[in-house]
A and B are shown apart, each in its own frame.
Chain A
Amino acid sequence: MQDVRDALMLARSSEGKLVQRPLSPHLQVYKWPVSMALSIGHRISGVGLAIGTLLMTWWLVAAALSDGAFAAVQGVLSSVIGVLALMAWTAALIFHLFSGIRHLMWDIGLGFDDRSYRTSGWTVVVAVVAATLIVWAVGLAVW
């Protein structure tokens, strides 16, 4: 016991064993509703997109610099790893975009009841998958 306050957190389980009561919120005891996954996904995709801006910066700066530098970027981006990275990037971008629109709807006071929470959550999931597949299909077809 590190902290005397932990003494208040002792309890007995249904079998009568002494256990430490969990502090709230304890993520592992929750069944994950769609909103919870989308919420943490919004943050994770946001951080991922921040890393993606390095790619955009590299691409633009290389284009401004020289033919050689630009050919190098285009070479990396058209390699297998580059294409996979771009696919991950578009997926994260579309996810963050649609999930962000859901957040903006809440900001103007729409969709706060339980039902619309779930409906809008699943709508985002379906829309993200559909839009991402369309963007990948068009992107690969044009290429």
Chain B
Amino acid sequence: MRTTSGKTIRVDIRRSMLGRARGLGAAHEGARTWWAQRVTALALVPLTLWFIATMIGLEGTDRAGVRAWLHAPVSLVLLLCLILATFWHMALGLCEVIEDYVHQGALRLTLLLGVRAACVLLGLLCTVAALRLGL
């Protein structure tokens, strides 16, 4: 590379071609996201089935019923796992959709950050509510 002053600069890219290619997907990030999406998906398989069955059992309940349900440590722990996995998986999934379809820079970044912020806020709201009911 030659600068305007005529000096030559040598740039060494200290990564192999494979190493660079591995990091470049539609999101320009690595495989960590892919793994997180799969692991949360796997966790959500049993958790979702448990959640559907539990919600049917809680139909028409009052607050005391919800509190009694969450007072059992197993229910509370499973619900907290469900909340964590759900909002994590949701953030990854929504960001993937945005990365695929929204190409305009400012809007893309706004949406990507907004979705993550919403997931964190909703996830924390659910967590705090569950803890307050269960503890």
Q: Give A residues with C-beta under 8 Å from B.
A: 43, 46-47, 49-50, 53-54, 56-57, 60-61, 63-64, 67, 70-71, 74, 78, 90, 93-94, 97, 100-101, 103-104, 107, 135, 138-139, 142-143
What bracket does the count of chain B residues touching chain A fall in?
20 to 34
What separation, in Å, do the CA atoms of A112 and B98 have in the docked complex? Answer: 27
Contact B62 A50 (CB under 8 A): no
Q: Verify B133–A47 contact, CB threshold 8 A.
A: no
In the assembled complex, the CB of A74 is this many whole angstroms from the nearest CB of chain B, namely 7
List B residues at the A interface (Cβ < 8 Å): 38, 41-42, 44-45, 48-49, 52, 56-57, 59-63, 66-67, 86-87, 90, 93-94, 97, 122, 125-126, 128-130, 132-133
Contact of B45 among A47, A60, A61, A101 (CB under 8 A): A101
- B90: chain A residues at CB < 8 Å are 46, 49-50, 53
Q: Are B128 and A104 closer than 8 Å at their CB atoms?
A: no
With contacts A49-B90, A50-B93, A93-B48 taken as known, whether A57 is within 8 angstroms of B126 at the C-beta atoms is yes
A61 in contact with B59 given A47-B94, A50-B90 (CB within 8 Å): no
The answer to whether A64 and B62 touch across the interface, beta carbons within 8 angstroms, is: no
**A49 — which chain B residues lie within 8 A by C-beta?**
90
Take A60-B130, A61-B125, A104-B41 as given contacts and tell me if A67 and B63 are in contact as well, using a CB distance cutoff of 8 Å. yes
Which residue from chain B places its CB closest to the CB of A67 in the assembled complex? B63
Partner of B125 from the list A57, A71, A74, A139 (CB cut-off 8 Å) is A57
Residue of B nearest to A66 (CB): B63
30 contacts between A and B (CB under 8 A): A46-B90, A46-B97, A53-B86, A53-B87, A53-B122, A57-B122, A57-B125, A60-B126, A60-B129, A60-B133, A61-B125, A61-B126, A63-B63, A63-B67, A63-B129, A64-B129, A64-B133, A70-B63, A70-B66, A71-B62, A78-B60, A100-B44, A103-B41, A104-B38, A104-B41, A104-B45, A107-B38, A139-B56, A142-B59, A143-B60
Task: Name the A residues within 8 Å of B125 (CB-CB).
Answer: 57, 60-61
Q: Which residues of A contact B59 (CB under 8 A)?
A: 139, 142-143
Find out whether the CB atom of B132 lies under 8 angstroms from the CB atom of A64: yes
Docked Cα-Cα span, A54 to B125, in Å, equals 10
Q: A49-B90, A50-B93 are in contact. Are A64 and B38 (CB under 8 A)?
A: no
Docked Cα-Cα span, A27 to B93, in Å, equals 23
Residues from chain A with a CB closer than 8 A to the CB of B87 are 53
Within the complex, the shortest CB–CB distance from A41 to chain B, in Å, comes to 13
Asked if residues A47 and B97 are in contact (CB atoms below 8 Å), the reply is yes
Q: Output the residue of A46, A63, A70, A100 with the most chain B CB within 10 A.
A: A63
